[in-house]
Structure 1
């Protein structure tokens, strides 16, 4: 799985007290939240990369050709 590091953070006392009252494993919860945020940002980065690639490919197609294809699709509906 890899190396581990310790991370500390501050939360409002009210949140901490409620988490404790619900027997929440705070470290596990914060770790999962951080992993989810990193995963979400990686997906966003990959999406941006793919959109950039698609945009560059679309630039190679003449706009008249794109317009004609759209008109063709509309007629087929």
Structure 2
């Protein structure tokens, strides 16, 4: 399902795009897809940064402690 987005541009710009044979609808679609991808990535980075700040720093070698704990349980 697709929808129509209308954008008002100067007549000269549209004429120039047509004169040059630019497929402006495909170019706009590609630009908007890239914009969405970058915005999602930016928001994910921000969310990860907030999460990283909220987690307390782990002291010592946590992996080694888990391994020892696992071995002792057997």
TM-score bracket, normalised by the shorter chain, equals: 0.5 to 0.7
Partner SS state of residue 7, structure 2: coil
Structure 2 gaps, min length 5: 60-74
Q: Deviations over 1:1-60 (max 9, x none)?
A: xx2111111112232122111101111111111111111111111111111111112xx2
Q: Alignment length, in residue pairs?
A: 59
SS at match of 1:33: helix
TM (norm. structure 1) is 0.65
- Give TM-score, length-normalised by structure 2: 0.67
Aligned counterpart for 1:54 among listed residues 45, 52, 71? 52
Gaps of 5+ in 1: 66-77
State the match for 2:25 in structure 1: 27
Q: What do you get for the CA RMSD once the two structures are aligned?
A: 1.8
